[in-house]
Amino acid sequence: MNLFLSGRMSAFFSILLLIFSLFSCYNYSANRIVTTPPTLVGITLIGTGVYELRLRAGNPEAFFSGYTLYTGSTVDASRNPSDFSSGKACQLPLNMLPNQPREYSIEVNPTAGPLAVPGPGENTNRVCKIVATLNSGDYVTLRSSVISLDLNSGTKDIYVFSMPSNTLQVP
């Protein structure tokens, strides 16, 4: 009989401890997640109006949602857009998650549709396709984004952008 009661008491205290630990959890941050910006390695014309943008990135964030391309006639205009919604985002779903420290690529194409099959000399680690028209002389900058969960307001669809990547000029 005592053995039975000690087992019930043990289960009771285990459950009580679990409940206590859930309600006493105060070691969390109310700050938004900050994601790392990619590093642009190069941009190459691979077809009529189609570019391959090579980058190095490591995004281990659980809520990583892709990259957004910003263009401008100057370096400053592409790095500091007046409105973050002016950028062109990766088409979802992503082809792969860029979470290893290696070189990836993004196809920038003026027409929508699936990713093109990488040709000879092109990077096979293609993350996504961005539908945008690039002109020679434009400046391009990428920002990575994550979906942020705000525990205070209960909103979950807030995109948080990284700092801008380095900027390249379209050849």
Q: What is the architecture of the domain spanning 39-170?
A: Sandwich (2.60)
Contact 156, 69 (CB under 8 A): no
Q: 15: buried, middle or exposed (CB in 10 Å: 19+, 13-18, 0-12)?
A: exposed
Q: How many CB atoms lie within 10 A of CB 77?
A: 16
Percent of the chain at pLDDT exceeding 70: 73
Q: What are phi and psi of 79, to 5 degrees?
A: -80, -30
Residue spans of the domains in the chain: they are 39-170
pTM of the predicted protein model: 0.75
Per-residue pLDDT at 4 exceeds 60: no
Per-residue pLDDT at 3 exceeds 60: no
